[in-house]
Amino acid sequence: MIQRQAALDMLAENKTPASLLQHALASEVIMRALAVRFGENEDLWGLTGLLHDLDYPTTAENPARHGLDTADILAGKLPEEALTAIRAHNAEMNGASAPACRFDYALRCGETVTGLISAAALMRPTGMEGMEVKSIKKKMKDKAFAASVCRDNIRQCAEAGLELDEFLALSIEAMRTHSAELGLSK
């Protein structure tokens, strides 16, 4: 399995823009927290979160390839279960099999919630500090806030085995713990 530094090098080689790198790092910390919560392989889940959008700089204009190209690039570097989760996170657009297991759903909801939490942190004078589940739930109801974030994907945390409140609390805490490296501390 690929090591974290090699994964970061791949992101740099693919000219990952700063905003996408922040999303990748946020996805990584949430996936690591989910792995700990479920007793799964923290490194595998973290690397999957970190690399799930590796192809985005080249597939942004071709969403039918997004996730598929990443899985192709990472073949032999991550186990098949990770590649399946990467393909499934964009299944509606790329024709891959829909999410089918905890790992698939964890990546899907974990990577999606990063946009909502990051946007909320950027709007708050204290960044991530003091962020509460109820404020994120309120932002979820406001369709105009972080409008591109698919709330239905976030709610799929139930398919991964977590109630929404627990999932949001875990995600907020994971991102708060790493807020400085995510550029979300004030």
Transcribe 64-117 into DSSP letters: TTTTHHHHHHHBTTB-HHHHHHHHHTTHHHH-PPPP-SHHHHHHHHHHHHHHHH
Q: How many CB atoms lie within 10 A of CB 31?
A: 27
Can you give the residue range of the structural domain that contains 150? 4-182
Map 121-164 to HEC letters. HHHCCCCCCCCCHHHHHHHHHCCCCCCCCCHHHHHCHHHHCCCH
Two tokens at 66?
Answer: 């997004």
Number of domains, the chain: 1
Query: Do 120 and 165 contact (CB within 8 A), yes or no?
Result: no
Give the Cα separation of 178 and 186 in Å (integer): 13
Give the Cα separation of 47 and 152 in Å (integer): 24
Tens-binned pLDDT, residue by residue, of the chain (186 aa): 999 999 999 999 999 999 999 999 999 999 999 999 999 999 999 999 999 999 999 999 999 999 999 999 999 999 999 999 999 999 999 999 999 999 999 999 999 999 999 999 999 999 999 999 999 999 999 999 999 999 999 999 999 999 999 999 999 999 999 999 999 987
Q: What is the CATH number of the domain that holds 108?
A: 1.10.3210
pTM listed for this prediction: 0.97
Report angle CA 78, 33, 90 to the nearest 5 degrees: 50
Q: How many CB atoms lie within 10 A of CB 104?
A: 24
Q: What is the pLDDT of residue 186?
A: 76
